[in-house]
Amino acid sequence: MNAGSVVFEHVSKRFAGFTALPDLSLTVEAGTLVTLLGPSGCGKTTTLRLLAGLEHPTSGRILIGGKDVTHLPANERDVAMVFQSYALFPHMTALENIMYGLQSGGVAKREAQDRAREGLRLVGLENQGGRLPSELSGGQQQRIAVARALVLEPQVLLLDEPLSNLDERLRRRVRTDIRDLQQRLGFTAVYVTHDQEEALAVSDKIIVMKEGDIAQQGAPETLYHSPESVFIADFMGEANILPCEIERHEDDYALVRLGRQQYRVRGHAGRTGAAQLSVRPQFITLTDNDAGALRGEIIHRTWLGDHIEYEVQTELGALFIVDALMEQQLAISASVAVDFKPQGLALIAN
């Protein structure tokens, strides 16, 4: 696979009277899968379309594999796109669908057939080549769409919400398939999604966008454990945001006071005093004794089979708590001690 890097240099995009991207710079290393993640309207699709050549920037430069493609049309960019709607031709078999792009790119029929068969094999559908899209499941159709893009051997594979038409269980299967394939073949992929769990599952790097800008970027673990803002803490999984007091720092850790306890947490604010903590709901413990960092009262309790969710009112506000151990049954209105496991706490720098 000829994997290329992607660089955006100060790219802006204005649509009549509306600036979708004010000034975007980003890098995708060759051979990695980078996800553009963010709420609806943040500019993910615009960024992907600019990369594909389906839109052109108002200013700035776009490089693919080190080459300036800013002014090149889509068909000269050496990228292939997988759409959320699959966009397969309904009257063509799976094999013909995969061959189509190769043949229209000038590949002879025999070679196109061989490469299409190889594509089917890559996505584990070698026996389904003769079927029409209507005879395949949604997940199989999406794998055909991935194979069709891959056989073109693009420098960069672009995936635009590729799983959104699949049901929950299939989404998990197909996202694992896409990630396995990407790691095995080592191609570069830019993946757009609004689903944070999907982004955590497939990415080498996640770029979280907000209103056309990058809110934070980094490895999935970094974004989850070291959010730089309340927006990121909240967007990357569930988080309770609590006020705390930074008492001092030790290396990359801060000693913070939360209620009646002191905790050693990840993060360095470069100062002491009032700050905010992100607290993951599965790292909060409840006990019916008099100890704990905070006192609380259970105001909601929802039993969900493999875990219980609680809402507890404390002097620092309401907390959302996930109890996966389920070793105790705490009733509504019970008075409880609330404690925090340090690994679920992160200091928010901004």
**Interface contacts to ligand ATP, rule CB under 6 A:** 15, 18, 20, 38, 40-46, 194
Residue placing its CB nearer to ligand ATP in the complex, 11 or 345: 11
Q: Are 252 and 231 in contact (CB under 8 A)?
A: no
The strand ranges marked E within the chain are 6-15, 18-28, 33-37, 59-64, 67-68, 79-82, 156-160, 188-193, 205-210, 213-218, 240-250, 253-258, 261-266, 273-279, 284-287, 294-303, 308-314, 317-323, 335-340, 345-348
Residue placing its CB nearer to ligand ATP in the complex, 14 or 184: 14
CB of 25 to ligand ATP, least distance (A): 17
**DSSP reduced 3-state for 203:** coil
CB of 199 to ligand ATP, least distance (A): 13
CB of 46 to ligand ATP, least distance (A): 3
CB of 55 to ligand ATP, least distance (A): 8
Q: How far apart are CA 286 and CA 290, in angstroms?
A: 11
Q: How far apart are CA 297 and CA 264, in angstroms?
A: 26
CB of 100 to ligand ATP, least distance (A): 27
Residue placing its CB nearer to ligand ATP in the complex, 40 or 289: 40
CB of 41 to ligand ATP, least distance (A): 4
Q: How far apart are CA 348 and CA 325, in angstroms?
A: 28
Q: How far apart are CA 264 and CA 299, in angstroms?
A: 29
Exposure string (b/e) for 67-94, b if CB count within 10 Å is 16 or more?
Answer: eebbeeeeeebbbbbbbbebebeeeebb
**DSSP reduced 3-state for 133:** helix
Helices (H) and strands (E) in the chain, counts: 8, 20
CB of 20 to ligand ATP, least distance (A): 3
- DSSP code for 283: G
Residue placing its CB nearer to ligand ATP in the complex, 15 or 89: 15
Residue placing its CB nearer to ligand ATP in the complex, 56 or 300: 56
Residue placing its CB nearer to ligand ATP in the complex, 39 or 73: 39
Residue placing its CB nearer to ligand ATP in the complex, 234 or 311: 234
Q: Tell me which residue of 74, 64, 81 sits closest to 26, measured CA to CA.
A: 64
Residues 6+ apart with CB under 8 A from 138: 165, 166, 167, 170
CB of 211 to ligand ATP, least distance (A): 9
Q: Tell me which residue of 189, 179, 119 sits closest to 158, measured CA to CA.
A: 189
Residue placing its CB nearer to ligand ATP in the complex, 160 or 228: 160
CB of 212 to ligand ATP, least distance (A): 7
Residue placing its CB nearer to ligand ATP in the complex, 87 or 304: 87
- Phi, psi of 333, deg, nearest 5: 80, -5
